[in-house]
Structure 1
Amino acid sequence: MPHFPVNHPARPLYRVLSGLIGVYILVFGVWGVAETIGDPLFDRGSHWALGLRTNLAFSLASVVFGAVLIFGASRRSNLGHYMNLTAGVVFLVTSILMMSVLQTDANFLNFSMSTVIVSMLFGLILLGTGLYDKVGPSEHAEAEMERRKHPVADAHRS
């Protein structure tokens, strides 16, 4: 089983980071919907919102995804932990897939290279926040601190 730190001291910072990413994605989506309303869902036009190229389908998906990330960041349970891990992987996989079809008709979300880069960056940040925002009982956090103070662990640090 993988080791995820429990009750990491910087957890509030990670929740704020994932919340800010969620707000950006939500604002991007709303702005994109306003720009592309009336266009076909998978249009390959030249609509831009907050520096990223978009179409109606991508904008609608961003509204939903941004709201989900904000919801996850606002929870003090492990729901945010799992949502951030999942969202990080989704962003990374989507950015790689969309980069592979960037100059083809298969670019149905109308990505540009800047959209790919921002998606990769968001994916890495969300994956990182997901790795460190796990919540557990105080006994688990204390046990983890004791493991860190174990003599064998101290011998490896020297």
Structure 2
Amino acid sequence: MVHFPVNHPARPLYRAIAGLVGLYILVFGVWGVALTWDQPLFDRGSTWALGLRTNLAFSLVSVVFGVVLIIGASRRSNLGHYMNLTAGVVFMVTGVAMMAVLQTTANFLNFSMSTVIISMVFGLTLLATGLYDKVGTEEHAEQEKASRRHPIAETNSR
């Protein structure tokens, strides 16, 4: 069974990091939409926004993901926990998939290698923040802590 730390002391820091990732993605998306508004949705041109190559479709998706991540980071429930874990996996899978089609016509989001790398970094960051921002009652936190203790180590320490 997977044991996520409950009520981790650094939870506010992890949520702030996830919020900053969401803010960057939102700003990138808005900037990309402003730059690509007059272009076709899946254009494969050389439009760059904040160091990443983009098109209108990728910019619109980035606006949506940025808003979702900011909402998840601002909630004090487990919504952010699940959103960060899900978004981390989505970013990692998207990065690998777009790297596989980088030099083909299937690159419909107009990724470049720098976009793939940033997608992987954001995916790993969101996965890491999702692992440590689970919220629960104090009883649940103590029960989770107790389940991680090794019984032999406790016996030897007495």
Q: Shorter-chain TM-score: what band?
A: over 0.9
Preserved CA contact (<8 Å) 2:72 2:80: yes
Preserved CA contact (<8 Å) 2:3 2:144: no
Please tell me the residue identity of whatever aligns with 1:106.
Answer: A
Please tell me the residue identity of whatever aligns with 2:93.
Answer: V
Report the more deviating stretch, 133-142 or 74-83: 133-142
Superposed CA offset, 1:71-127 (max 9, x none): 000000000000000000000000000000000000000000000000000000101
Q: Name the count of aligned residue pairs.
A: 156
Structure 2 unmatched runs, 5+: none
Q: Counterpart of 2:13?
A: 13
Write the distance in 2 (CA, Å) between the matches of 1:18 and 1:81: 10
Q: Counterpart of 2:56?
A: 56
Change (3 A) 1:103 1:153: farther
Give matches, 1:81-92, under 5 Å.
81-92=81-92
Give the deviation of 1:151 after TM superposition.
4.9
Change (3 A) 1:150 1:49: same
User: SS of the counterpart of 1:124?
Assistant: helix
Give the deviation of 1:2 after TM superposition.
1.3
Give the deviation of 1:144 after TM superposition.
3.2
Give the deviation of 1:152 after TM superposition.
2.6
Change (3 A) 1:129 1:153: farther
User: SS of the counterpart of 2:53?
Assistant: strand
Give the deviation of 1:142 after TM superposition.
2.1
Q: Counterpart of 1:121?
A: 121
User: SS of the counterpart of 1:86?
Assistant: helix
Give the deviation of 1:143 after TM superposition.
2.6
Give the deviation of 1:141 after TM superposition.
1.3
Change (3 A) 1:50 1:114: same
Q: Counterpart of 1:22?
A: 22
Write the distance in 1 (CA, Å) between the matches of 2:62 and 2:136: 31
Aligned Cα RMSD in Å?
1.6
In the superposition, the TM-score normalised over structure 1's length comes to: 0.93
Identity fraction in percent = 78
User: SS of the counterpart of 1:111?
Assistant: coil
Change (3 A) 1:31 1:153: farther
User: SS of the counterpart of 1:4?
Assistant: coil
Q: Counterpart of 2:100?
A: 100
Write the distance in 2 (CA, Å) between the matches of 1:37 and 1:50: 16
Write the distance in 2 (CA, Å) between the matches of 1:104 and 1:42: 13
